[in-house]
Homo-oligomer: A and B are copies of this chain.
């Protein structure tokens, strides 16, 4: 739905820009929601982007810089005059402002910070890595003291008139600014106006350390359905809050990394089309080489069975079919188990249950594939004995692949290695050499070679 809205707006903005009616183009842009604005903006040529941004409302410019991919935002920001950029950065969410400033050259960052009004909000955030809890937090706009009354607290909220949605969970501190509780705006409004905050607050407040990984923060927020997660230092002083809207971005980033690893490549960490060819190649070469070396064992196995192969040449025709099917079956298993581990359906202690489950799946699937393979072998005009060897081999290989696919991710998890290393490519490579060995051993026995 919003796809077409963006497309229509983009056409209009482009037409107006080409007709040199910049003001009308700005009016169209300003009528959109921030994410749509950013989408339209991203599609414009760099020249138009530079022309438009300083002419937009500062708040809109801030929204656009927040929504653009990090590299694009940094590139665009560097082309703006320092004072215009400082005004825009002042309007950005402090955590986004810190991310942007961290991506600019040091001299530009220093110049912008000097021109900013709210530099003191952003400064403490610059020290944290983007992917830690500290890199995601914003300073709390409203902090309650445990001795306030509900009425005083509401007045305080009204006075600060916060413009962010982090205000729905209000965190409570003691005299030394230690985090001691949380009260929701809803509870405040519903409470007796004279009640003390310390009597209505929830003391069992879940927080995260400033240096924790962003994944841990997202995990806590989704597990406990938190609207805001307070970030504390090692002495439990409240430093900032991570807002609920960061969670989806973190989950998306982590899922992207998992899927790229799952395809047998290191995560790119950047939007695909803005990643240099050499960088993409570098992120893939390691795995590709390692798999290649593992795969060379297939050559050793084939050489080992060279005499078997030369006696019954038709055995060779089934090689890719058998090891391919084993690899596919193993990939199916491994993707199911990796995901089950990730979402907690399966844990290390379930290893024997999982193995038993997958063994039966392997026996069942293998039997069905054996029937199909037997018929296919006969229709290719091989002897019945070769067809039997092929059928028994495929059954055994599927069972073997499913067992490997079930056990390896759990063993990796147990060894605290990311289970996604047992990706589809790794599975099919492992099954290739071992599957060949199984095939020729069975063929030798059945054909009495």
Q: Which of B287, B306, B340, B361 has a CB less than 8 Å from the CB of A328? A: B287
* Residues on the B chain within 8 Å of A255, using CB: 251, 255, 339
Question: B289, B302, B424: which contacts A317 (Cβ < 8 A)?
Answer: B302
Q: Mark A338-360, 1 if CB is under 8 A from B, else 0.
A: 11100101100010011001001
Which chain A residues in 243-272 approach chain B with CB under 8 Å? 244-245, 247-249, 251-252, 255-256, 258-260, 262-265, 268, 271-272
A186 touches B165 (CB 8 A): yes
In the bound assembly, the distance between CA atoms of A273 and B360 in angstroms comes to 13
A157 touches B189 (CB 8 A): yes
A263 adjacent to B365 (CB under 8 Å): no
Is A161 interfacial (CB-CB < 8 Å)?
yes
A2 within 8 A of B: yes
A376 to B296, CA, bound (A): 9
Interface residues on A, range: 35 or more
Q: Is the interface of A mostly helix, strand, loop or mixed?
A: helix
By a beta-carbon cutoff of 8 Å, the part of chain A in contact with chain B is: 1-2, 33, 35, 69, 154, 157-158, 161-162, 165, 167-168, 184-186, 189-190, 204, 206, 216, 220-225, 227, 244-245, 247-249, 251-252, 255-256, 258-260, 262-265, 268, 271-273, 277-278, 280-281, 284-285, 287-289, 291-292, 295-296, 298-299, 302-303, 306, 309-310, 313, 316-321, 323-325, 327-329, 331-340, 343, 345-346, 350, 353-354, 357, 360-361, 364-365, 368-369, 372-373, 376, 380, 423-425, 428-429, 432-433, 436
